[in-house]
Amino acid sequence: MNARLPTEAVLPPIAAPKWREERVIRYWQWTPQLVSFRTTRHPEFRFVPGRYARLGLAVPDGEIVWRPFSMVSAAADDFLEFLVVLIDGGEFSRRLADLRIGDPVLMEKPSFGFLTLDQLAPGETLWMFASGSGLGPFMSILHDQAPWRSYKHLVLVHSVRHATDLAYRDDIEAIRDAHAAMGLGADLRYLPVVTREQLPGVLSARIPQMLDAGVLEAAAGIPLEVGNSRAMVCGNPDLAKEMRSLLKVRGFATSRRGASGQMAFEKYW
């Protein structure tokens, strides 16, 4: 007697892809190693400012190389924008450097991360510390109205090696000036830092060193204290490690289940 073949009703379902294909719609260089690009955005893709997406690029052997990148664009934009440092010898970076308008970029359906305002307890001053492309999530946060309504002061510290690496500087100043002209909500104090050049009016030491010495608070004209300040950090692992230690000494803590914190970090390295 022949065994019964399974009917269509009991066949296992075909798993839906965990990613979607987007297309490059803009690509530009700040320096040979620092680039920004925009992609199309599926209407169902949602994110909170400060989160990141996992992007995939195909390599010749048919595999897909995945890397996480924070969104620079606003949550309401109909495109997605990213700021990326190209790594010498990196497989993903080689593919990314060759992207052209119309090329495909794979994107996982969910967004990820905890560098979001809802991780923090209410406060008066929001400090945002970034190194290199760690600026990305803070641009998305500044494009949103929530921080301007929730805080009295916003302080953005962006550290790079060379002045040419100060991506989005004009955009930051334009956002600041536009909100100042309206006279509503928080004020923004932008502190660019260039560590390998001496420039008039620009800080030049490492962020942890300047925080420990009180230089950043003097430059911003605002104290960084646990009672009314909140801190967000996105950058290289050394920056995150040092800043976590320095802030803990001042009484800052990350969020815990049922309790909002005074500091938040991005951890996708």
CATH code of the domain containing 186: 3.40.50.80
Q: Does residue 158 share a domain with residue 66?
A: no
pLDDT of residue 103: 97
Starting at the edge strand found earlier in the chain, the sheet holding 19-31 runs 64-70, 52-58, 104-108, 19-31, 34-40, 79-85
Q: Does residue 193 share a domain with residue 66?
A: no
The tens digit of pLDDT for each residue in 3-27 reads 555 444 455 555 668 999 999 999 9
pLDDT of residue 10: 54
Q: Can you give the CATH number for the domain in which 60 is found?
A: 2.40.30.10
Q: Does residue 256 share a domain with residue 124?
A: yes
CA atoms within 13 A on the CB side of 264: 23
Q: Is residue 3 in some structural domain?
A: no
Q: Is residue 14 in some structural domain?
A: no
Q: Is residue 2 in some structural domain?
A: no
Q: Is residue 220 in some structural domain?
A: yes
Tell me the mean pLDDT in the region 103-121: 96
What does the mean pLDDT of the chain come to? 93
Would you say residue 106 has pLDDT above 60? yes
Q: Say what the pTM is.
A: 0.92
pLDDT of residue 13: 56
The tens digit of pLDDT for each residue in 223-268 reads 999 999 999 999 999 999 999 999 999 999 999 987 899 999 997 6
Name the percent of the chain lying above pLDDT 70: 93
pLDDT of residue 245: 98
Q: Does residue 212 share a domain with residue 247?
A: yes
From 78, 108, 138, give the residue that closes a domain.
108
The tens digit of pLDDT for each residue in 141-171 reads 999 999 999 999 999 999 999 999 999 999 9
From 80, 108, 136, give the residue that closes a domain.
108
Q: Is residue 146 in some structural domain?
A: yes
Q: Does residue 133 share a domain with residue 234?
A: yes
Q: Is residue 28 in some structural domain?
A: yes
Q: Is residue 166 in some structural domain?
A: yes
pLDDT of residue 59: 84
From 61, 79, 108, give the residue that closes a domain.
108
pLDDT of residue 57: 96
Q: Is residue 125 in some structural domain?
A: yes
Q: How many domains in the chain? A: 2
Domain span at residue 28 reads: 19-108
Choice among 21-35, 51-65, 214-228, 235-249 with the minimum mean pLDDT: 51-65
